[in-house]
Amino acid sequence: MNGGHWSDDDLVGRLYGAGPDDAHLTDCPECAQRWQSLIEKRERILEPPNLPETFLASQRREVQRRLARPGKSVHWLSLAAAGATAGVVMLAVLLHRPAPAPAPETADRELFTAVYSLVQSDEPEAVQPIRALFEVEP
């Protein structure tokens, strides 16, 4: 409740048994009118449609007739799905790139040499950037 009157959420909650349960609807004519309008709308919505039995029977016959013989649309849909699948597979085959050839062994040898020299060095790693400041590049 928002001060004086019930909100729409309060009324809908009351309609489904989860809203406020006080005597406000008996005390407030404006909220009581909104409540009555909500009840009437719900009854109109829940009312079954007034359709003649002959119309419903003809619909049932038409549905049964269509179910008895499969339509051409099912054939075209399955053909279209198969074509799309074949297209995707063809695209995947055409765009597939094999993995690059492995680097020559010299790269591995150089890597192991560099790692070994770092491991065997007695200097801490923090000294290396300072040493680089004083090295002369050719």
User: What is the distance between the alpha carbons of residues 105 and 117, in angstroms, rounded to a whole number?
Assistant: 18
Q: Indicate whether 125 pLDDT > 90.
A: no
Question: For the segment 14-31, what is each residue's pLDDT rounded down to a tens digit?
Answer: 888 887 777 788 888 998
Q: Label residue 71 by pLDDT band (50, 70, 90).
A: low
Domain-wise residue ranges, the chain? 1-68
User: What is the distance between the alpha carbons of residues 68 and 120, in angstroms, rounded to a whole number?
Assistant: 84
Q: Tokens at residue 86, please?
A: 């074949």
pTM above threshold 0.85: no
Contact 6, 21 (CB under 8 A): no
Q: Indicate whether 61 pLDDT > 80.
A: yes
Q: Using the 8-state DSSP alphabet, how is residue 69 labeled?
A: S
What confidence score (pLDDT) does residue 87 get? 94
Question: For the segment 78-124, what is each residue's pLDDT rounded down to a tens digit?
Answer: 888 899 999 999 999 888 888 887 766 677 788 888 888 877 877 77
What confidence score (pLDDT) does residue 2 get? 52
Q: What is the mean pLDDT of the chain?
A: 83
Q: Indicate whether 72 pLDDT > 80.
A: no
What confidence score (pLDDT) does residue 109 get? 80
Q: Tokens at residue 76, please?
A: 């075209």
